[in-house]
Amino acid sequence: CDRFEIDAVAVCDMPRIAVFEHLRSAMDDGRQVALGFCNANMLLKALCSASYAAALKKLVLLNDGVGLDLCSLLFRGRSFRENLNGTDLVPALLGGETRERTLFLLGARPGVAEAAARNIALRYPQHRVVGTRHGYFAAGEVETVIAEINAVAPDILLVALGNPDQETFIAENAHRIDARILMGVGALIDYTAG
Ligand code: UDP
The reported pLDDT for the residue numbered 104 is 99
Check if 161 has its Cβ closer than 6 Å to any atom of ligand 1. Answer: yes
Distance CA 73, CA 52 (A): 24
Helices (H) and strands (E) in the chain, counts: 9, 8
Which residue owns the Cα nearest ligand 1 atom 15? 108
**Which ligand 1 atom is at minimum distance from the Cα of 163?**
25
Domain spans in the chain, listed from the N-terminal domain onward: 3-193
> Is the C-beta atom of 189 inside 6 A of ligand 1?
yes
pLDDT at position 8 is 86
How far is the CA of 166 from the CAs of 32, 43, 82, in angstroms? 17, 14, 23
Give the whole-angstrom CA distance, residue 41 versus residue 45: 6
What pLDDT does 83 receive? 93
**Residue at 84: amino acid letter:** L
Cα 115 from Cα 12, distance rounded (Å): 32
> To test ligand 1's pocket by mutation, which of 161, 168, 169, 189 has the most ligand atoms within 8 angstroms of CB?
161
Q: For residue 46, what is the DSSP state? A: H
Coil, strand or helix at 78: coil
The response to whether residue 109 sits with its C-beta less than 6 Å from ligand 1 reads: yes
* Residue of minimum CA distance from atom 25 in ligand 1: 162
Written as tens digits, the pLDDT of the chain (194 aa) is 899 999 889 999 999 999 999 999 999 999 999 999 999 999 999 999 999 999 999 999 999 999 999 999 999 999 999 999 999 999 999 999 999 999 999 999 999 999 999 999 999 999 999 999 999 999 999 999 999 999 999 999 999 999 999 999 999 999 999 999 999 999 999 999 99
